[in-house]
Structure 1
Amino acid sequence: MNIGTKLALAVAAAAVCVASAIGLLVHRFTAAEQLATARSDLDRRLVSAVYDHAAGRTSEARIDPPDLPGSVSEAVRRGVRVTYLQNGPRPVLWAATRVSDRTVLALSRSYGHEAGELAALDRTLVTTGVAATVAVSLAGLALGLRMGRRATAAARTAERIAHGDLDARIRPRGQDEIARLAASVNAMADALGARLEAERRVTADIAHELRTPVAAMVTATGLLPPGPATDLVAGGVRKLRALVEDVLEVARLDAHVATLETEPRQVSAMAHRAVTGLDGVEVRIVADTLAETDPRRVERILTNLVTNALRHGARPVLVEVDVAGGQGDDGPVVRVRDHGPGFPPDLLAVLTTSGPQRFRSAGDSTGTGLGLTIAAGQARLLGARLTFRNQPDGGAEATLHLPAAG
């Protein structure tokens, strides 16, 4: 239940409570005033009838009426002058007093007119209360929907920012808390964008500066005499060179300067080329199709996924080419699955919400997280998407969803 619905229900509940309380107070006050007036009038008439009875004149009062309520008769015989409302389908108001030791003088009249007026007042109060409640509830619903839309728009924009769209902004309206929240989200996005841009610029500059000395180191290792020490140095230099190239690739993707060179290509052919030279990898073709895409970037994605599976999972690694179906997703898919322990829960939560993050790997010290970051960046450039999950029977699975042809 969103904030708009909650606000509308709260306003409606408050309106019902206020209308009910006012209606009950008006009913009780009117009924009390009505009964007091009727009792006072009938009591005056009874006093006048007592004087007439004492003077021997006839009056509207009756002597010992047989229909006198028992409670009134008992009270009168104790010497109390009584007015009493006898409720029922036809309410009757009584006034009685004792005029001798054994004689009771009583007056009665119908209370139906007053009861009808009170019932009419109750109907008017209910109608007015319902109309007021509906009107206030509609106003509360309109206000709640407006606030709900504004809060939803702010939440969606914050989600877009969290997923990497740092150009998303909220248009603040008014001077209330939601407007302050919108301004705060915009300020947060500006600050986050500035920090990320500074980070990207520094990373790219460092990588560019390292490229030349790393190239010189590669050349120098080729001049060293063969031996274990040379092999160790050469291996370290190769890893450093690969890291520098990965950082530069991430910088190019972040700067949106990469270009696509698309052509039709069999998905199975790209999968086979991506795993060339890698041991412990099996390619399975379930369904093959042509894809209009940039084959070099698709192969880079698959190579990074397979390399990540070999490094952090367990062999064999299965690359499965298939065609998705249903729910608007009918393009080719390539699944890369290993048979290791799967993604750690905290890493899987990050991958499924905000995507791969640079320098965050599967929790060991053998990776930098750049492989998945580059794969995700290449996928966005191609209009494709990457999804990650753990198989129920063990192993991590990454799936590349390519756009449908045409």
Structure 2
Amino acid sequence: MNAGTKVALAVAVAALCVAGAIGVLVHRTTAANQLATARSDLDRQLLSAAYDYAAARKSPARIDPPDLPAAVARAVRGNVRATYLAGGAHPVLWAATRVSDHNVLALSRSYAPEARTLGTLDRTLVTTGAAASVVVSLAGLVLGVRMGRRATAAALAAERIADGDLDARVHPDGRDEIARLAASVNTMADALGARLEAERRVTADIAHELRTPVAGLATAVGLLPPGRATDLVTGAVGNMRRLVEDVLEVARLDAHSASVETESRQVSAMARRAVAGLDGVQVRITEDAMVETDPRRVERVLTNLAANALRHGAVPVVVEVEGPVVRVRDHGPGFPPDLFAVLRTSGPQRFRTSAPSTGTGLGLTIAVGQSRLLGARLTFRNHPEGGAEAVLRLATD
């Protein structure tokens, strides 16, 4: 239930409660005043009838009526006058007093007119209260829907910002708390965009500055005499070069400066080329397909996924082509729970891996960035039969 619905329901409940409370108060006050007036009038008539009885004049009062309520008879034993309302389908109002040691003078009349008047009042109160509640509820619904839409717009903008759309903004409307929230979301987006841009520039600048010395190291390594030490240095320099290239690729993806050059290619051909230099990777073709895409970027995605599976999983690593869908699965323990939770919610995070000593965590980040650039969808899961699995769904016409 969203906030707008809650506000509308709260206003409707409040309106019903207020209408009900006012109705009950008016009913009870009117009934009490009505009964008090009727009792007073009948008591005055009883006094007049008592004078007439004492003067032996005819009056509407009766002596010891057989239908006199027992409550009235008990009340007048102490030489007091009493009035009593006998309820039921046909209410009757009584007034009685003692005129001798053994006789009671009583006067009665129907209370039905007052009961009908009170019933008419109740129906009027119910109708008026219901109409007022409907009007107030509709006003509350309009207010709640408006508030809900504004809050939803702010939430959607925050979600878009969290997904990487730093241009998403909310248009504040009014000066209430929701408008303040919208302005805060915009301020957050501006600050986040500035911080990410500064981070991207620093990363790109560092990577660019490292390219020249790394290239020089690679050239110098080629001049070393063959041997175990040379092989170790060559491997380290190669890893450093790949890391620098990965950092530059991430910077280009963050800056949205990468371009896509599409052409029609077979998915199976791209998969085979992507893993051609990786030992322990098998390619299975269940169903082939032609897709219009950037083959270089698709191959980069598949290479990163397969290399990540080899590094963190266990052989065999299987790349299965099923039409425009490519699955890369290893037979290791699968994604750890903490990493899998991050992959499902916010996607891979750079420099975060399941084993910090075995990689930089840029491979999956680049794969996801390239997939978005291609308009493809990349998801991750732990396979029911064991191992981690990445599923790449290429866009088709």
What TM bracket, shorter-length normalisation? over 0.9
2:361 aligned with 1:382 = no
Counting only pairs closer than 5 Å after superposition, residues 192-211 of structure 1 correspond to structure 2 as 192-211=192-211
Q: 1:21 Cα deviation (Å)?
A: 0.8
Q: CA deviation at 1:363?
A: 3.2
Question: Percent identity over the alignment?
Answer: 77
2:308 corresponds in structure 1 to 308
Q: 2:361 aligns with which of 351, 365, 369?
A: 369
Deviations 1:131-187 (A, max 9, x none): 111111111111111111111111111011011111111111100111111111111
| Residue 284 of structure 1, CA deviation | 1.2
Paired residue for 2:326? 334
Q: Counterpart of 2:348?
A: 356
**Structure 2 counterpart of 1:352, which letter?**
R
Is 1:289 the equivalent of 2:281?
Answer: no
1:7, 1:278 → 2: CA distance?
60
Structure 1 residues without counterparts, runs of 5 or longer: 324-331
* Alignment partner, residue 317 of structure 1: 317
Distance in 2, matches of 1:60 and 1:257, equals 107
Q: Tell me how far apart the structure 2 counterparts of residues 78 and 181 of structure 1 sit (CA, whole Å).
A: 75
Q: Once the 2 structures are TM-superposed, how far is the Cα of residue 302 of structure 1 from its aligned partner?
A: 0.1
Does residue 1:127 correspond to 2:127, yes or no? yes
Counterparts in 2 of 1:154-165, with a 5 A limit? 154-165=154-165
Residue type of the alignment partner of 2:338? D
What pairs with 1:55-204 in structure 2 (closer than 5 Å)?
A: 55-204=55-204
CA distance in 2 between counterparts of 1:114 and 1:223 reads: 117
- How far apart are the structure 1 equivalents of 2:113 and 2:355? 87
**Distance in 2 between residues matched to 1:292 and 1:192, nearest whole Å:** 35
1:231 Cα deviation (Å)? 1.0
Query: Which stretches of structure 1, 4 residues or more, deviate above 6 A after TM superposition?
Result: none
Distance 1:35 1:251 in 2: 87
Give the structure-1-normalised TM-score: 0.96
Q: Which residue of 2 aligns with 1:392?
A: 384
Q: Note if 1:236 corresponds to 2:236.
A: yes
Q: Which moved more, 1:344-353 or 1:116-125?
A: 344-353
In structure 2, the residue matched to 1:213 is 213
1:14 alignment partner AA = A
Alignment-derived partner of residue 279 in structure 1:
279
Tell me the amino acid that sits aligned with residue 385 of structure 2.
D
The Cα shift of 1:352 comes to 1.9
The Cα shift of 1:71 comes to 1.5
Q: Secondary structure at the match of 2:100?
A: coil
CA separation in 1, counterparts of 2:358 and 2:57?
Answer: 121
TM superposition shift of 1:345: 1.9
Match of 1:402 in 2: 394
Report deviation, 1:392.
2.3
**Partner SS state of residue 286, structure 1:** strand
Shift of 1:279: 1.3
Cα distance, 1:381 vs. partner?
1.1
Structure-2 separation of matches of 1:211 and 1:279: 28
Give the match for residue 35 of structure 2: 35
Shift of 1:78: 3.2
Which secondary structure does the structure 2 equivalent of 1:40 belong to?
A: helix
Distance in 2 of aligned mates of 1:211 and 1:359:
20
SS of residue in 1 equivalent to 2:315: coil
Residue 332 of structure 2 aligns with an amino acid whose one-letter code is G
TM-aligned CA deviation for residue 80 of structure 1: 2.3
Query: CA–CA distance in 1 between the matches of 2:261 and 2:76?
Result: 111
| SS of match in other structure, 1:153 | helix
CA distance in 2: counterparts of 1:294 and 1:3, whole angstroms:
45
Look up the equivalent residue of 1:278 and give its one-letter code.
L
Q: What is the letter of the counterpart of residue 387 of structure 1?
A: T
Question: In structure 2, what is the equivalent of residue 329 of structure 1?
Answer: none
Matched residue of 1:321: which SS?
strand
Query: What SS does the corresponding residue of 2:278 show, helix, strand or coil?
Result: coil
Cα offset for 1:357?
A: 1.7
Say which SS state the counterpart of residue 389 (structure 1) adopts: strand
Q: What CA distance in whole angstroms lies between the structure 1 residues aligned with 2:301 and 2:84?
A: 95
Shift of 1:351: 1.7
3-state SS of 1:365 partner:
helix
| Distance of 1:226 and 1:158 partners within structure 2 | 57
Counterpart amino acid of residue 160 in structure 1: R
Counterpart of 1:275, as a letter, is V
Q: Counterpart amino acid of 1:228?
A: R
Instruction: Name the residue aligned to 1:328.
Output: none
What is the SS of the residue equivalent to 2:85?
Answer: strand
RMSD (CA atoms): 1.0
Q: CA deviation at 1:391?
A: 1.5
